[in-house]
Chain A
C-alpha cells in the first residue's frame, strides 16, 4: 500500500476518526491496529516477522533490565572487589544477551534481504572452482525490514547501554516497530522520543491537525509534481544511456538527483504529516542537504536518522573498540597533531560507509557507493591542511560567501555523481555515463530523440524547473531560519489559501492516472 494511494488515505482517515474519539487508554491500540492492518495489506503473513522479532527483543531487553536490577540489589552487600567482579560478570551477561538480540535481528534481515546476494557470491566462487552452484533462493522481502531492524536494534542497544529502561508493554514496543507512518521509508525511530510522546498522547488540537495537513500537502507536492516527473525523464535516460550524449547525460544525472531528493523528502514529509495528525512528532530526515558545504555535512543533512543511527551504534562502538584503541595508540607516534586525531577515524569510518553501502542494497554497486563516499571523506580529511595552506597563500576567504557557494556547488557535483552510481544498473553503466559527461563531452546523441521518447511535454519540464526553484527558495529561507509552519500558524487565512492552492495544484499537476507512468517511492525498495 503506497503512501499516495487511496487505500492509505482511507486507512489514515478511519484511524484518525477512531483515534480522535477513542478514550485515552485505547489510542495506542488504535494506532497499533492500524499499523498491523497496513502491514498485512502490504506484506500479508510476513507480519509475523516484526512481531516475533519484537517479541524476542522485548523479552531479552527485560532480561537485561533484570540483570541490572539483580546487580543493583546485591551491590550494597558486596565489597569493592566483589562489586567490581560482579559488574564485570554483569557486563558480560548483558553483552551476550545484546549480541543475541542484534544477531537475531540482523540475521533475519540478511536472510530475507541479502540471501540472493550472498548466494550469488557463493555461486560465483564455486563456479570459478568448478564446484557447481546452489539454487538462488528468492524470498519475499517483508515491508520495511531494513528500517524496523535498525529501529529495534537501536532500542536493544540503548537498553544494553543503560540509556533506556526496557519497555514492559509489548504492544508499545510493537507499535514502535511497525508504526505505519514510518515503517516503509523511515525516519528510523528513536524509542525514547517515541515512547515519551506515546505516554503523553492525547486528542490532537486543531493547530496540530492543520500542521499535519500542511506537511502532508507539501510532501505530496514534492512527490507528485516534481519527483515523479523528473523520475520519468531520469528513468528513460538511465535505461537507454548509450544512445545519449553529453547534454542528455548531464540532464539525466541532475534529473535523477532531483527525483530521488524530492521523492524521499516528499515521502518523509507525508509520513511526518500523518504522524502529526496523531500528535506524534517524527524526527526530521532532511535539512536542506543541497546547501551543504562538504560531503560530511551533506550526510548530516540527508537521511539524518540513518546517519545518526550509524554514528551512535556503529561509529562510536567501533571508535571505542579494542582495535581502534590500538590504532589510536599507534597514531600517538605521528608528530602532526592534526593527523594524530584524524587517522584513527578512518578505521571507524570504513565500517560506517561499508554499512551504509550494504544497507542500501544487495549488490556490489551499493558497496561501491559506500566506498565512494569513504574515499571522498578521507581524502577531504587528509588534504584539509593542504587546502588551508593553498587558500591562505591565494588569500581566499574560506568563510566568505563566494567560497561558500563554490563549496556548495562542489559538494553538489560530488553528490550527483554519487547518486548516479546509486541509480546506474551496474558499475559499468556508471562508468560509461561518467565518461560521456566528463571525458567524451560529446554533444551528439540527439536531445530531441530523448525528449520525444519520454511521455512529457515541454511544460512538464517547465513545471519541474519552476517547482524545484520554488522548493529551492523555501529551502534557502529555511536555511536562513524562517519558520514557515509557525508563520502560517499565525496567519490562518494565508494557511487556508495555501492548503487550497496546494490541493488544487496536486490534483491538476500531479503525476497519477494511466496517462502517466506512476513511480513507486525510491527508498521504499530499501
Chain B
C-alpha cells in the first residue's frame, strides 16, 4: 500500500475539511447555556481592576443582584458572576477566575450554595456548565480532574456533548450570532452578568415573608456541604482573601416544606456566622433586616428563592446601601462614570422594556 504523494495530500485535504466542518459546527453548537456563557465571557471583557464588587453564587444571586441598580444607587461598580444551579464546591474556582482580573474586588458570596442539602452539592451538570463556559486554563483542568474524572473526554472535546444542538440549528444560530457579536465587538453585558425574571409567583396557598429571627438557633451544615464550606474557608485563608461578605438572599414561604427549608437555611446561616466571624467576614442575612428593601410579596418574588426584576432592583439598591455603609470604595474617574452611566441606561432599557 504505497503512500504516494497524491494519497498523502488527499488524506490531509480530507482531514482539513473534516476539522473545519467540526470547528464551524462547534462554534454553532457548543453552547451549554447562553445565560451562563454570556455571564462568564462578559466578565473577561470588563477592564482589569475596574470592579468594586463581584457577586459569586448560583441562581439566587443571578436573579436577585443587578449591578446597574447598584451603580445608580451608590456609584459602586459590580458584576454578578453567578451561575444558575452552581454548587458551592466550585465557588473557589469561580473566585480564582475573578482574582485574575479583579484582584481587589470585594467578594460577595451567595450563601445558598452552602446551605443546600448534600444532593445538590454532588450534581455534575452545574459543574459541567461551568467548565464548558470558562477559559481552558489550569483552573479548568483542575476542576475537570477533581470533579469530572469520568467525563473528561466530553470536557476536552465539548463537541461530543453539544453536537446534538445541530438539530436545533434555528435556535443555536441566533445564540451563536449574539455571543460572537459581543466577543468580536468587545461588548460588555449591560446587565453585568445578571439574568432577569419577569414572572411573579402565583402560589395558591398563603405566601409570607420569611422573617424568622432566632440568633441563638444554629444548625450545622449537612456533611458534604460542611466539607465544601470548610474547604472554602481554607481556600480563602490560603489566598489571603480578606474582603468577603456572605449573603443570605430574600426568601418567602408558602407551605410547610418551604417554611422548614427556610428555617434550616436560617439556622445554618447562624452556624456559618459563628465560623466566619473570626476571619473578619461579614454576613448579610436579609431575613434579619426587616425587609429593608420593601419587597412586595405579590410582585417582587418569582418563587420562594428568587426575585423578579422589580424585586431585584429593590434588593440591589438596599444591598448597595449596606455595602456603602460597611465598606469604602475608590472614587471613580469621569470616564468610568460616563461609561457606567451609559451602561446603566442600556440596562434600564432591557429591564423596563
Contact = CB atoms under 8 A, between A and B. Distances in A.
B163 A507 contact: yes
21 contacts: A20-B1, A203-B1, A205-B1, A456-B167, A457-B168, A459-B169, A496-B14, A500-B14, A500-B17, A504-B17, A504-B22, A508-B21, A508-B22, A508-B25, A509-B167, A513-B154, A513-B162, A513-B163, A514-B160, A515-B164, A516-B164
B187 interface: no
Contacts of B25: 508
A504 B25 CA distance: 10
A507 B20 CA distance: 12
Minimum-distance CB pairs A-B, first 4:
A459-B167, A513-B160, A515-B164, A500-B14
A496 B166 CA distance: 25
Contacts of A345: none
A459 B168 contact: yes
B180 interface: no
Interface string B132-169: 00000000000000000001001000011111101111
Interface residues of B, number: 22
B214 interface: no
Contacts of A510: 163
Interface in A432-482: 456-457, 459-460, 463
B164 to A, nearest CB: 4
Nearest to A500: B14
A499 interface: yes
Name, among A20, A500, A508, the residue most crowded by chain B CB atoms within 10 Å (CB to CB).
A508
Given A204-B1, A508-B166, A513-B160, 9 more contacts: A203-B1, A499-B14, A503-B14, A504-B21, A504-B22, A508-B25, A513-B162, A513-B163, A514-B161
Interface of B: 1-2, 7, 10, 14, 17-18, 21-22, 25, 151, 154, 159-164, 166-169
A503 B21 CA distance: 10
Contact of B167 (A205, A457, A496): A457
Given A499-B14, A508-B166, A515 B161 contact: yes
Contacts of A463: 167
Nearest to A495: B10
B31 to A, nearest CB: 12
Given A206-B1, A513-B154, A500 B18 contact: yes
Contacts of B167: 456-457, 459-460, 463, 509
A209 interface: yes
A372 interface: no
Nearest to B169: A459
A520 B1 CA distance: 34
Name, among A209, A499, A504, A516, the residue most crowded by chain B CB atoms within 10 Å (CB to CB).
A504
A510 B2 CA distance: 32
A512 B161 CA distance: 8
Nearest to A513: B160
Contacts of B10: 496
Contact of A503 (B18, B161, B168, B169): B18
Contacts of A499: 14
Contacts of B14: 496, 499-500, 503
Contacts of A205: 1
Nearest to A203: B1
A31 B112 CA distance: 58
Contacts of A209: 1
* Contact-size category for A: 20 to 34
Contacts of B17: 500, 504
Contacts of A512: 160
Contacts of A507: 18, 21-22, 159, 163
Contacts of B169: 459
Contacts of B154: 513-514
B28 to A, nearest CB: 10
Interface string A7-34: 0000000000000100000000000000
A460 B165 CA distance: 10
A510 B14 CA distance: 19
Contact of B18 (A20, A204, A504): A504
A87 B25 CA distance: 72
Interface string A307-332: 00000000000000000000000000
A463 B1 CA distance: 37
Contacts of B18: 500, 503-504, 507
A307 B154 CA distance: 42
Nearest to A205: B1
Interface in A488-526: 496, 499-500, 503-504, 507-510, 512-516
A508 B2 CA distance: 31
Contacts of B159: 507
Contacts of B151: 514
A456 B168 CA distance: 9
A509 B167 CA distance: 8
Contacts of B168: 457, 459
Contacts of A459: 167-169
B1 A513 contact: no
Nearest to B124: A514
Contacts of A508: 21-22, 25, 163, 166
B177 to A, nearest CB: 19
Nearest to A492: B10
A457 B166 CA distance: 10
A513 B166 contact: no
A503 B14 CA distance: 9
B8 to A, nearest CB: 12
A205 B169 CA distance: 42
A509 B10 CA distance: 24
Given A205-B1, A503-B18, A508-B21, A515 B162 contact: yes
Contacts of B160: 512-514
A509 B151 CA distance: 21
Nearest to A459: B167
A203 B2 CA distance: 12
B278 to A, nearest CB: 43
Contacts of A503: 14, 18
A157 B73 CA distance: 91
A499 B161 CA distance: 24
A20 B169 CA distance: 43
A457 to B, nearest CB: 5
Contacts of A509: 163, 166-167
Nearest to A462: B167
